[in-house]
Amino acid sequence: MKPDEFMPNKTALVVGANGVIGRNLIDYLMTLPEWNIIGVSRRGGEDAGRLRYVAVDLLNEEDAFTELGKLTTVTHIFYAAYQDRPTWAELVPPNLAMLVNVVNAIEPIAPNLQHISLMQGFKVYGAHLGPFKTPARETDANHMPPEFNIDQQQFLEQRQPGTPWTWSALRPSVVSGFALGNPMNLAMVIAIYASMSKELGLPLRFPGKPGAYNSLLEMTDANLLARATVWAATDERCANQAFNITNGDLFRWNELWPKIATFFELDTAPPLPMSLEVVMADKESLWNFMVKKYDLSRNSYKDVSSWRFGDFVFSWDYDFFSDSSKARRLGFHDFIDTEKMFMDIFEEFRQRKVIP
């Protein structure tokens, strides 16, 4: 191998760098010597070797052009940014605008732009609205808008013809991995909820709808998703296509929940439907007490709270899974056991002193 083959020849722009998906994607790219990485977020980050950060308010078109318009070496855009809003309709304008601002800023000044990777999810299939067709397939028809994932993909589909770059869309199920201050972090929801249950001397009760305890689900490990994202962005067979990316197994909470309780050395009790956003609203003082008692990392209660997302996931009293065989047919064969995924993440939370 020639010496210059060890030198980075690709530059990844990871948009949404501090979220569960973006953080794990950066970690994976750092293991690949051919990549330079630029992380984009509102908060920025700490530069390290081939990784540097740019702080940008992507909703501010002028700021996006000013800060991103200098990044002439970008070859791949990995878009995983997200802005939360109270309603489905309100999600559309900001989330579409951020993607448009990124592409408008980078495309004219990055002559070697090869690919734009878009992170989506099962909302494309209407999974957030109620019982949907399972297994969901990439060829399934779109549903009645509003839906920002669909609008984002249509923007890329309309923009791409006649350009030298291609796009791909990744559709994971619920993504789990390490990240703080993220509004969609189910592993964090469970870990904090279980740790507080233990501190209060309570058994671990499943808080979702009765039917949700027995429905069939799947998850997506953030590290597996990172590998799939880079694969889809660099394999020419994947150009201009969408892919379901999941762990490869199915589970029901009624089987997994007692195993989670065992990890936290807790008993279980019958499920009791309750809104975590409501019942955990007054627990900041308990959290601060636990941080001091167990000498935990000084993470604010806000940064470890994703209760609204937990309520959302635990409300699915219908099957929630897709067909991910398309990715396997084109060459992506990675898989992970979902039970092991959760236990590994909980253990990482302990090692990082996020939980006792």
pLDDT digits (tens, 9 = 90+) for 254-282: 999 999 999 999 999 999 999 999 999 99
CB 102 within 8 A of CB 68: yes
Q: In the structure, what pLDDT confidence band is assigned to residue 5 with cuts at 50, 70 and 90?
A: low
Shared domain for 234 and 270, answered yes or no, is no
CB 152 within 8 A of CB 171: no
CB 103 within 8 A of CB 117: no
Rounded CA separation 330/244 (Å): 12
**Tokens 């070496």 belong to which residue?**
73
331: in domain: no
**Which pLDDT score, from 0 to 100, does residue 230 have?**
98
Instruction: Tell whether the model's pLDDT for residue 6 goes beyond 80.
Output: no
Q: Which amino acid is at 107?
A: E
151: in domain: yes
328: in domain: no
Instruction: Tell whether the model's pLDDT for residue 217 goes beyond 90.
Output: yes
| Element containing residue 95 per DSSP (H, E) | helix 88-106
3-state secondary structure 30-54: CCCCCEEEEEEECCCCCCECCEEEE
Three-class SS of residue 256?
helix
330: in domain: no
Shared domain for 105 and 237, answered yes or no, is yes
| 41-70 pLDDT per residue, tens | 999 999 999 999 999 999 999 999 999 999
Q: Tokens for 113?
A: 């732009």
Tally Cβ neighbours within 10 Å of residue 201. 7
Q: The sheet that has 115-119: what strands, in order across it?
A: 51-55, 35-41, 10-15, 76-79, 115-119, 166-172, 241-245
Shared domain for 292 and 303, answered yes or no, is yes
166-172 and 204-205 beta bridge pairing: unpaired
| 232-254 pLDDT per residue, tens | 999 999 999 999 999 999 999 99
> For residue 43, what is the domain's CATH number?
3.40.50.720
Phi-psi region of 252 (alpha: psi -120 to 50; beta: other; left: phi over 0): beta
Q: Tokens for 28?
A: 């994976």
**Tokens 């959760």 belong to which residue?**
342
**Which pLDDT score, from 0 to 100, does residue 116 have?**
99
Shared domain for 239 and 95, answered yes or no, is yes
Shared domain for 165 and 146, answered yes or no, is yes
pTM over 0.85: yes
The alpha carbon dihedral of 249, 168, 33, 180 has a sign of negative
Shared domain for 46 and 165, answered yes or no, is yes
Q: CA gyration radius for the chain?
A: 20
Shared domain for 231 and 279, answered yes or no, is no
Shared domain for 211 and 86, answered yes or no, is no
214: in domain: yes
Kindly compute the dihedral angle of the four CA atoms of residues 66, 113, 15, 33, in this order, to the nearest 10 degrees. -120
21: in domain: yes
**Tokens 């990485």 belong to which residue?**
37
| 157-180 pLDDT per residue, tens | 999 999 999 999 999 999 999 888
Number of domains the chain contains: 2
Shared domain for 107 and 185, answered yes or no, is no
Rounded CA separation 155/161 (Å): 11
Shared domain for 156 and 114, answered yes or no, is yes
Q: Residues with Cβ < 8 Å from 178, sequence gap 6 or more? A: 20, 23, 24, 187, 222, 345, 348, 349, 352
**Which pLDDT score, from 0 to 100, does residue 331 have?**
97
Q: In the structure, what pLDDT confidence band is assigned to residue 332 with cuts at 50, 70 and 90?
A: very high
Shared domain for 203 and 114, answered yes or no, is no
54: in domain: yes
Shared domain for 241 and 291, answered yes or no, is no
Instruction: Tell whether the model's pLDDT for residue 3 goes beyond 50.
Output: no
**Tokens 């939370």 belong to which residue?**
349
Packing angle, helices 253-263 and 338-351, rounded to 10: 30
**Tokens 């990995």 belong to which residue?**
78
Instruction: Tell whether the model's pLDDT for residue 1 goes beyond 80.
Output: no
Tally Cβ neighbours within 10 Å of residue 111. 11
Per the structure, the complete domain to which residue 305 belongs is given by 181-219+250-320+337-349
5: in domain: no
